[in-house]
Every structure is written in structure tokens, then in C-alpha cells.
Chain A
Amino acid sequence: MKERPPVLQSLLVALFITYMIVPIIATYIFSIATQWDITLMPEGYTLEWYQTAFDHPYFSITLTNSFIVSIAAVLVGLLFIVPTTYWVHTRVPAAKPLLDLLMILPFGIPAVVLALALIRVYSFPPLARSPFLLISACVIFSMPFMYRPVSNSLMAVDVHTLTESALSLGANTLQILIRVIAPNIMPGILSGSLLVFATVFAEFTLANLITGASFKTFPLLLVEFTRRDGRIAAALSVISFTVAWLASLALLWVGGRGRKPTEEALGAR
């Protein structure tokens, strides 16, 4: 192929990097600026906004709630999706198209529609507007993120031989799953868990519509502050970005992302 003019190539790449990085860096700087709305550079630096954010009564509540929902979604996802995927791979290959279809459906259901559908059906206690309903919704919403890496890992190792060897040594299915299969597909399990955690942690729509004020999550507090106090909102955004960065770094470190199909990139819009 003929070489493109390197100038144009470098320019495109440079513009892309700028576009991707400037909003993030600006938010980090804004969160430690005393005042930054008249001058081109901040007038001074302070950690006051973080202090105010930490002191806010809802800060630790919403952060805890977000961790609860994210970790619960990961655990429920692990409990349902890993065994089911393994089972389908080894025992019922005929169910694979059905499983694939179920894992694509969440992409076709906007979060607002999922929230509406669930609120309609579960309008009675104890589920109505409860954290349990929110966690279930988050599991549905994030299950493709768990499924893909796990399924890819299962295809990469010889599950049949592993299963047969373990069976011939007298292991039961639970033992096989926990002691033989899980260690072999650990990168997939870790990638899936991190993706689910990061997505659910940043999830605003489902939390806002399903639980709302009764069980506020971190993104809800953030949106509240974008309307009240931009500096606090900046501090909270930085915390969100940092969680996302850490999850992404962990994902890169786990190394399960190289072959990831791009559908997984869809998240909390």
C-alpha cells in the first residue's frame, strides 16, 4: 500500500488524543482549582472541594451503595453466567444459539426501557423500587460483559478433555467447575468481573429510575452536584474516572482484552 502523507496521519492521531484526553485532564485540574472560570489557567490550587465532598453526608452512603450494587452484580453474574456458560459449552451445545441470543438482547434494550419494564412488573413490596430490583436490572444489563470473556476463555482451553479427566478421577460437576475449570479460565472470569464492576459502578440510568432517592448511588450524587456546585461535581467526577482508570488498568494487566469483541465497549451511556 502506498504510504499516506505522515503529516496527515500524525495530525489525525494527535487530534484524536487531544479530544480524548483534554476533557479528563481539565476535570482533574478543575477539581483542585480555587477558581477557574475567568482566567485561562486556574488562579490557585486547593483540596477544599474534595474535603467538602468527603464531608457531605451522602458521600460515603452513595459510594457504599455503588460498591454494594457493583459487587452484588459481579457475584450474581459469576453465580449464574459462569456455570451456565460452562454447562452449555460441555453438555448442551444445542443451547448455545439461545445463550448467544440472550446475551445480545440487553444491547437492544435501552436502560430506560428495562427500568420501565421492571418497575411495571415488580410494583409490589419487597421488590418494588428496592436495591434487589436494581441489582437484578444491573445483572441483566451487564451480563454480556461477563459472558464474552468467559465464553472466549472456555473456547481457548480444552474444556472437554479437562472435564473428562476430572470425571474419570471421580470429581462431581461442582468440584470440576471450581477446582478444574475456574482456574483455567481465570483471565476470562477476572476480565468479565472487572468489566461488570466498572459498568455497574458508573451506571446512572437504572439507579436513577429504579431506586432513585431511596437508594442513591454515586453517579446520582454526581449528577445532583453538576446542578448545584461544579467544584464538588468535579471532585466526584475525578473519583469516577479514577475508578474507571483503575478497572481498565487491571483489565489490561489481566490481559483478557486483546481478543475482546467490541460489543463489550457499550456501557453506561
Chain B
Amino acid sequence: MMSFVRAPRNKLSAWLGVAPFLVFCLAFEIVPVLLLLSGSFSDKNGAFSLGNYAKISAPIYVRSFWNSIQISAITAILGAILGLLIGYAIFRLPSPRVREALIALSDVTTNFAGAPLAFAFIVILGSNGVVTLAFEKYLALKLYPTFSIYSYSGLVLAYLYFQLPLMILLIIPAFAGLRREWWESAHNLGANTLQYWRRIALPILTPSLIAGLVLLFANAFGAYATAWTLGGSNITLATIQIAFTITGEVLHDPGAGDALAVVSLLIMGVCIATYQFANSRARRWAR
């Protein structure tokens, strides 16, 4: 067929069409991040040095990373397990309209993050929050001081608010990919429900589960606004430490900031790469 679209002939000029966008990305994303990387390996005079990485082995920085990893892992695992169960409950609802409405609710609520969400949690679970008061009145359960919305325990609850719907949105398409015929064939061959789940359904869902886990982990690891609104400087997380190197609330040391940022990028990079890989595996079963 004759084609007016000059794809192969005019390669160079065709690539030029992508240039403006590439330049924008280079200027405001790639080059700044690469400079951060090189900055992290330089001393004050620009010579190669591992000094910045030695600096961030100080206990405060190690603890901030450890806290970030713990919060991210806990909320990712809880979010993935609860999301799997609730996602399945939603997926199996008999009414398609209710199902669609709940998926829409998940869509909306994953976007309710950051400062207003953190404040909403203070309203219900602050020391005078309505849920705190209700627990005390009806269940004779004093949440404070064991639990505090301004501490790590509160952070887990607030993060779950955006982790849970994200997992549900991720896992429902995977449930939709489980074909009825597979259950029927397994059943005809004499498998019971448990065997079907263990030997067929879960292995098929595994890539989606792993994709969900790492995406949730990355989602929590990069978070800043929610934690900053809830705990301020009482909460020691990697992102909060990096922000301090900008706002100068602690000793201003650009080199250490670069090194912290690079370690964070490394952790995020591993998550995103794993997500991409797991997701491509999961898509094999789609449609």
C-alpha cells in the first residue's frame, strides 16, 4: 500500500520532531539527576570522593532509611494482603454497578493523598479525634499514648489509605484474567477449591501480587507530604532528611543530600524495574 507517512525515509527529520520534548526532559529531569549522581561522588573541590557516602553512614541517616524501609514494607505488605482480599470481595460482587462504584471510589481515594488526607486522619484519630473518643466511650479503649497519629503507628494507618485502593485497582484486572474455564477444567479433573487456588489461581496471580507489592513499596518510600504534615521533624524518614538538606533545618551539607538522594533513587529504581518486569509477566495472562 502506498503510504504518505514518511516513516523510514526521513529518519533524521522525524527524530527532530521528538527533540523539543527530549530537550525539556534533559533540562529538567535527566541532567539534574545525573549531576546529583556526580555530585554525590565529589568532594567540595570537585575531586572524586566517597566522603559523602561516609557522611550518610551516620546513625541519623541510617535510621531514617531503616524507618522508611520499614514503613514502606509494612504498608506494602498490609496493603497487598488486604487489597487482595478486598479486591476479590469487590470482584465477586453480584452487582456490576456496585462493583464499578467501588472501583471508582478506589480511583478517587488513591488521589486523596498528601496534606489534606493527613489532616483528615488527625480529625478522626488525633488525641481528641472522633474515633479516639468513640473507642474510649464505647470500647473503653484508650488509644493514646500507645497509639499516636503523629507517630509511626499513625503513619501506617494514613499510608494504608492510599496503598489499599492502589492495590485494589492493580489486582482486580488480574482477577478478571482468571478464566472460568480454568476453574472448570481443574474441577473436572477432580481438584477442590483449595487445590485450584494453590496450584492454578495463585501462581497466575503471583506476578500481579509482586508488581503490586513493589509499586506500593515505592509509593510509600517516595512519600513526603503525608509524613511531614503528620509528624513534622518528629518522624525520621529518608525523604524528610533529604528535604532538610534543602530547607536547611539541619546542618546544611549539599554533598550528604546528594548521597541520600542517590541511595533513594537506587531503592526506587530497583522497585520500578521489578514492577516493570513483574507487570510484563502479569500481562501474559491478560485478555
Contact = CB atoms under 8 A, between A and B. Distances in A.
* A and B bind: yes
Interface of A: 1-2, 4, 8-10, 12-13, 15-17, 19-20, 22-24, 26-27, 30, 36-40, 80-81, 83-84, 87-88, 90-93, 95, 98-99, 102, 104-122, 136-137, 139-140, 160, 163-164, 167-168, 198-199, 202-205, 208-209, 212, 219, 222-223, 226-227, 230, 233-234, 236-237, 240-241, 244-245, 247-248, 251-252, 257, 262-263, 265-269
A92 B17 contact: yes
Contact of A265 (B93, B110, B258): B110
Contacts of A90: 5, 7
B223 A269 contact: yes
Given A17-B102, A109-B222, A244-B108, 10 more contacts: A106-B29, A108-B269, A113-B242, A116-B246, A121-B31, A121-B35, A219-B114, A226-B229, A269-B219, A269-B222
Contacts of B222: 109-112, 269
Interface stretch (B46-54, B120-128, B140-148): B120-128
Secondary structure type dominating chain A contacts: helix
B261 A1 contact: no
Contacts of A91: 5-7, 14, 17
| In the A-B complex, the 5 residue pairs with the closest CB atoms | A110-B222, A269-B223, A117-B32, A37-B128, A23-B120
Given A26-B130, A204-B225, A80 B24 contact: yes
Contacts of B134: 40
A140 B35 contact: no
A208 B244 CA distance: 11
Contacts of B115: 202, 204, 219, 222-223, 226, 237, 240
B204 interface: no
Contacts of A167: 4-5
Interface of B: 3-7, 11, 14-15, 17-18, 20-21, 24-25, 27-29, 31-33, 35-36, 39, 85-86, 88-90, 92-93, 102, 104-124, 128-131, 133-134, 137, 160-162, 164-166, 168-170, 180, 183, 193, 196, 215, 218-226, 228-229, 232, 239, 242-243, 245-247, 254, 257-258, 261, 264-265, 268-269, 271-272, 276
A144 B226 CA distance: 22
B86 A16 contact: yes
A112 B112 contact: no
A137 B28 CA distance: 7
24 contacts: A16-B164, A24-B112, A40-B134, A40-B137, A84-B18, A84-B21, A91-B14, A92-B7, A93-B7, A107-B272, A110-B224, A112-B243, A115-B246, A116-B36, A116-B246, A117-B35, A120-B32, A204-B229, A208-B228, A209-B246, A233-B119, A244-B116, A263-B215, A269-B114
Contact of B21 (A9, A26, A80): A80
A209 B5 contact: no
Contacts of B193: 1-2
Contacts of B114: 202-204, 219, 267-269
A269 B14 contact: no
A163 B165 contact: no
B257 to A, nearest CB: 6
Most buried by A among B7, B110, B120: B120
Contact of A120 (B39, B123, B124, B268): B39
Contacts of A118: 28, 32
A95 B18 contact: yes
Given A116-B257, A160-B5, A265 B119 contact: no
